[in-house]
Amino acid sequence: MKERLSREVIALRAAREFPDGAVVNLGGGIPSLAANFVPEGRRVIFHAENGVLGFGPIPSRESEEKDHMLGANGAPFIALPGMCFFHHADSFGMIRGGHIDITVLGALQVSEEGDLANWTFPKRGLGNIGGGMDLAFGCRKVIATMQHTSPEGEPKILKKCTYPLTAPRCVSLVVTDIAVIEVSEAGLVLKEVAPGWTEGDVQALTEPKLIIDKNMKEIEL
Amino acid sequence: MPRTYNYYGMEVLSEMGIPTIYKSPEEAVADIPDGASVMIGGFGHAVDKPQALLKALANRSVKNLTIISNSAGAAGALGIGSLGGKPFIDEEVLIKNGLVRKAVCSVPASLVISKPNAFERLYREGKIELEYVPQGTLAERIRAGGAGLGGFYTPTGVGTLIEEGKETRVIGGRKMVFEAALKADYALIRAYKADTRGNLIFRGIMRAFNAIMPQAVKTAIVEVEEMVEAGELDPEVIVTPGIFVDRIVRIPGREG
């Protein structure tokens, strides 16, 4: 069995996509870990949909936690210079209005056209749309992070999503525990593979045909 | 409930401009009738939920409420969104006590799949209705309701189940879906401080839906941690102008 990347490493790889000065919203789960891996020297302004921009990391001491300083995932944050608060209509105006550069969202399924399904699956019967739909429609770049296959080993990168969609044609980059895949007009382009994995290994666990990038390389850890 | 209309035929959404100060949350929610629509503020954290008003309402024998809120009680019982993971009161208390017929929200189900909330259980038994609204669409529908608009076109939801049954049009080359404005009879709101004119200020993340719902209802009921005389809040920093606020109750200390 080849080794797959941990959740932290998936988040670390996604965080490399944040350019200096970017405004970034992180979804729950793996995406939320990306806050810890902003490449050195880059200033990233984090947005949380419950109404805060420019907040800092989780406080190191419990005594510094404040009940009015919690992000959308419920985790406390510390104040940073330049931080600001606002209400929900403004917060989602920022999202739909194209003022958020990048969102990183967890995914249950991604299609070869970049369709995203991440809010429910048929067995559950209902689910939580939350802010994910607005983020997927509104942010300038959507990065999906996920395990490459389901717990049963089935592909989650599919020709067509079978679960209810969050948004069609929104994902531009998929970072999984075995590969980095770009969504292009021509199809899915395999850009990077996890150490020890080959393009054939990744293709075998991916439903649509992958285009192998001519500069395909191993993910640098 | 009697409805009043202005010169332009638009429904008048407010009691008069000066709020009434109530002694207890129970008195402040005592007249909410069967079948009322009630907006509930906050995002879903302990500090932004009107916990005292929710508790007071949940203890009344009111039925068939429609609640409009970000969540239908997804996190309070789990303690997600409070310091130290302490459980707190959210919409679930209304649902558990059988007050709610329908929820209009973006987060109806528990945040932890293995620990279903009261809404999910009733929904699976067909005993409660749900209108899914993406969170940003919910915020904007409420904002539009308070601002006297009929609705708006948004790209969010096109090509998903949200689009079903709704009018669409292409604007600037992009397909958009029409979303109608939302109004309600009451709002239960949590703020940090109010003055006697109803002007509100918040702390940190408390604004969320709290700062947009009072505008969109006939009777906005606000619980605050502190109450001051008019003139004591800096007019430059007031978030919610007092004319939107109808009832204020000061809660002793903070719950949650």
pLDDT digits (tens, 9 = 90+) for B231-242: 999 999 999 999
Q: What is the dihedral of CA A22, A23, A26, A27, to 10 degrees?
A: -130
Q: What is the pLDDT of residue B255?
A: 45
**Cβ contact A74–B45 (<8 Å):** yes
Of B84, B154, B256, the CB nearest to A96: B154
3-class secondary structure, B122: helix
Residue B167 lies in a domain: no
Residue A83 burial by CB count (10 A; 0-12/13-18/19+): exposed, middle or buried? middle
SS3 B148: coil
Task: Say what the pLDDT of residue B252 is.
Answer: 78
Considering the domain boundaries, does residue B120 fall inside one? yes
Is residue A2 a part of any domain in this protein? no
User: Touching check for B48 and chain A: CB below 8 Å?
Assistant: yes
Of the residues A8, A17, A40, A49, which is catalytic? Answer: A49
Query: Mean per-residue pLDDT for B68-91?
Result: 95
Structural domains in chain A (count) = 1
Q: Do A137 and B157 touch (CB under 8 A)?
A: yes
B126 falls within a domain = yes
Q: Judge whether residue B104 has pLDDT over 60.
A: yes
pLDDT at site B4: 66
Torsion, Cα A205 A200 A12 A132, to 10 degrees, reads -40
A168 interfaces chain B, CB cutoff of 8 Å: yes
Tens-place pLDDT, residues A1-28: 799 999 999 999 999 999 999 999 999 9
Q: Does residue B222 sit in helix, strand or coil? A: strand
- Encode burial over A124-158: b for 16+ CB neighbours within 10 A, e otherwise: eebbbbbbbbbbbbbbebbbbbbbbbeeeeeebbb
Q: Are A194 and A179 in contact (CB under 8 A)?
A: yes
CATH of the domain at A133: 3.40.1080.10
- Enclosing domain of residue A197: 7-218
* Catalytic residue check, A49: yes
Q: Do B47 and B18 meet the contact criterion of CB atoms below 8 Å apart?
A: no
Tens of pLDDT, residues B175-191: 999 999 999 999 999 99
Residue A1: inside a domain: no
Q: What is the mean pLDDT of residues B38-45?
A: 97
- Residue of A32, A67, A171 for testing the chain B interface, max B β-carbons within 10 Å: A67
Domain that holds residue B72: 21-148+182-250
Taking the alpha carbons at both ends of chain B, their separation in whole angstroms is 34
Residue B8 is assigned to a structural domain of this protein: no
Pick from A31-40, A150-159, B16-25, B199-208: least confident: B16-25
Q: What is the pLDDT averaged over residues A42-59?
A: 95
B window 2-31, beta carbon within 8 A of A: none
Q: Tell me whether residue B220 is in a domain.
A: yes
Q: Examine residue B76 and state whether it is found in any structural domain, yes or no.
A: yes
Q: Do B135 and A134 touch (CB under 8 A)?
A: yes
Residue B256 has pLDDT above 60, yes or no: no
Domain membership of residue B16 (yes or no) is: no
Inspect the interface and report whether the beta carbons of B132 and A129 lie closer than 8 Å: yes
Q: What is the mean pLDDT of residues A111-124?
A: 96
Q: Is residue B239 part of a domain?
A: yes
Q: Which residues of B touch A168 (CB under 8 A)?
A: 158-160
**What CATH number is given to the structural domain containing B80?**
3.40.1080.10
Return the number of CB contacts < 8 Å for A and B. 151
Determine contact: A84 vs chain B, CB below 8 A.
no
- As for how many domains chain B has, the answer is 1
